[in-house]
Amino acid sequence: MQCDQCEERAVYNELGKTYCKNHFLSYFEKKVEKTIKKYSLIQKNDKVCVATSGGKDSLAALYTTMLYCNEYKIPFFALAIDEGIAAYRDHTLKDLKTFCDKYNIQFRVISFKKAFGKTLDEVQNKAITVLNKKPCTVCGIFRRTLLNRSARELGATKLVTGHNLDDESQSFLMNLLKGNMRHNAALGPVSGLSENEKFITRVKPLYHMTERETRLFCVLRKFEVNFNECPNIHLSFRANVRDVLNEIENKSPGAKHGMINAFLEILPELKKKYREERKEFQYCKKCNDPCAGDICNACKQEAELCKEVV
């Protein structure tokens, strides 16, 4: 099979698009740039923090953000969170260091151990057996908190994440199945419902790129990346939803694109509805981060899982 735009052998064929290596790389990078511009994800007065783990999605987000920021002379840096997952995170952080050294990207690593006194591995059994919390729930709360705090302390105005179209379609369906449309209202290329000076705006340059496209991009760019999944993923609700969506996509190609395009049509009304219902921010009595109650979820979780009983 040949590329639609030249006579070279095609490496990608999906939904009527056929590209050779060079045209696929160009397609991917131009589509990400178009997404950034369409949704005003990054602007010239920003300082950009790219949340990255060394996995394929975050490296693709970091590379394409680098291209955009270098073109428009926008300062940026990479930020990684070390959860303390044995035989997994150390490998991805090694890939990240190699990547950042190659492209001369400034990056920082912040650990659960330093911030909360325990690694995810150290609290996992207690979370499951005592609190009936899945490791992914614990990890998500701590990761989001550390990313926001660290990006804020480092002076960032935007926080780039590597969420792609597959991730967003999974999140939408998960929230739908749980009956939580408020959480869906906070999705989209720009995350969140309300602005607050202590919340760094999260943006998703890979929003319209599929998992398959992101994987192929990393392979063709010859990034040193470990494609293994987090060992805790099988315990998550997301993994079940992912498998169902992949099965639907296999039978009806384009279903994920259709879901996201339909979601984007109703997103403005969702945001309007839940912004009007949202209460004023309170501030955590322990860490002073904005939250819905007296104590934020991260501080509650830290007290439950990380503090030693004397």
pLDDT in tens, 3-56: 988 989 999 998 888 999 999 999 999 999 999 999 999 999 999 999 998 889
Cα 224 to chain centroid distance, Å, stands at: 19
Q: What count of residues does the chain have?
A: 310
For residue 61, the model assigns a pLDDT of 97
For residue 195, the model assigns a pLDDT of 81
Identify whether the C-beta of residue 81 lies closer than 8 Å to the C-beta of residue 49. Answer: no
Q: How far apart are CA 3 and CA 191, in angstroms?
A: 36
pLDDT above 50: residue 309: no
Identify whether the C-beta of residue 53 lies closer than 8 Å to the C-beta of residue 84. Answer: no
Q: Tell me the angle at which helices 56-72 and 89-103 cross, rounded to the nearest 10 degrees.
A: 20
Q: What tens digit of pLDDT does each residue of 82-137 get?
A: 998 888 888 888 889 989 999 999 999 999 999 898 999 988 888 888 888 888 88
Eight-state DSSP code of residue 52: -
In terms of pLDDT, which residue wins out, 177 or 124?
Answer: 177
Q: How far apart are CA 125 and CA 131, in angstroms?
A: 9
pLDDT above 80: residue 219: yes
For the chain, counts of helices (H) and of strands (E): 12, 9
Domain boundaries of the chain, sorted by first residue? 12-280
Q: Quick count: other Cβ atoms within 10 Å of Cβ 182?
A: 14
Six token digits for residue 287:
């860490």
Q: What tens digit of pLDDT does each residue of 79-90 get?
A: 999 998 888 888
**pTM over 0.75, yes/no:** yes
Could you report how far apart the first and last alpha carbons of the chain are, in Å?
68
What is the average pLDDT score of the chain? 91
Eight-state DSSP code of residue 40: T
Amino acid at 72: Y
Q: Quick count: other Cβ atoms within 10 Å of Cβ 282?
A: 13
Q: How far apart are CA 8 and CA 11, in angstroms?
A: 9
| DSSP-derived 3-state class of residue 283 | strand
For residue 310, the model assigns a pLDDT of 29
Q: How far apart are CA 263 and CA 3, in angstroms?
A: 32
Class of 12-280 in CATH: alpha beta
